[in-house]
Amino acid sequence: MLVHEGPSRSIGSDLRLGCTLAAVAGGMNVTGFLAIGSYAANMTGNLSAMATGLVQGGRMAVLCGLGLVVAFVAGAVLATLRLRAGCRRGVACMHARIIVLEGTALVALGMVAACLPTGACAGVLGYGLGFLMGMQNATVTHISGARVRTTHMTGMLTDLGLELAQWMENRATPSPDVTARLRLHGAIITSFVLGGSAGALGYGLWGARSLMGLGAALILLALPAVLRGR
């Protein structure tokens, strides 16, 4: 599921990849919210907070929102540059390598954040999670040809609504493609919610250290593809 890309991918590969990474993203997003009060993947909300801060004079809200947006974009830029460089050099399984890198960084983030004082921990966690969310979203978007998003549930819900409308218009003889996409989008959304619930439980038990478990899950998911590529 982390080897084939674009049109060569099957709906099953997208389903496995989307559900797994969406569950991890949900856990990361909820952990970030419980730790710092902001969603690392919700760039719409962060931009809205910036706009509100500009009007109400909330300098900190503007700076924090801007920092999260910049971190997210920087993660997406880094992932894309590495993917393009790897493709030019003919490096196998670059997408899997990016996911392994994300998992390793997430383990390190959980270890470091658990040792920092409250104020410093909030900044490191917020911007670190935003950066990693950008990396993951760019990687999955690239490998799936923009059919799958694992951190951007607004887009997934929009796609779900579009597919539902098509299914309702032709429900007497539903298209297999529409049915498959409905299943894909519904499963990814459900996985994000379930992953978020698991993230909330993990944070309640272990605090920021729970991120280490999410990072380990990403490494275990992607490492076999990297080894096969070698």
CATH T-level assignment (fold) for domain 21-39+71-229: Growth Hormone; Chain: A; (1.20.1250)
For the chain, the domains span: 21-39+71-229
- Check: CB of residue 148 under 8 Å from CB of residue 87: no
| 190-to-137, 139, 186 alpha-carbon distances in Å | 17, 21, 6
Q: Kindly report whether the global pTM for this prediction surpasses the value 0.85.
A: yes
- Amino acid residing at 116: L
pLDDT tens for each residue of the chain, 230 residues long: 555 555 666 777 788 888 999 999 999 999 989 888 888 888 888 888 888 888 887 788 788 888 899 999 999 999 999 999 988 888 888 888 999 999 999 999 999 987 877 767 778 888 999 999 999 999 988 887 777 778 878 888 998 999 999 988 887 787 888 888 899 899 999 999 999 999 999 999 998 899 999 999 999 989 888 887 66
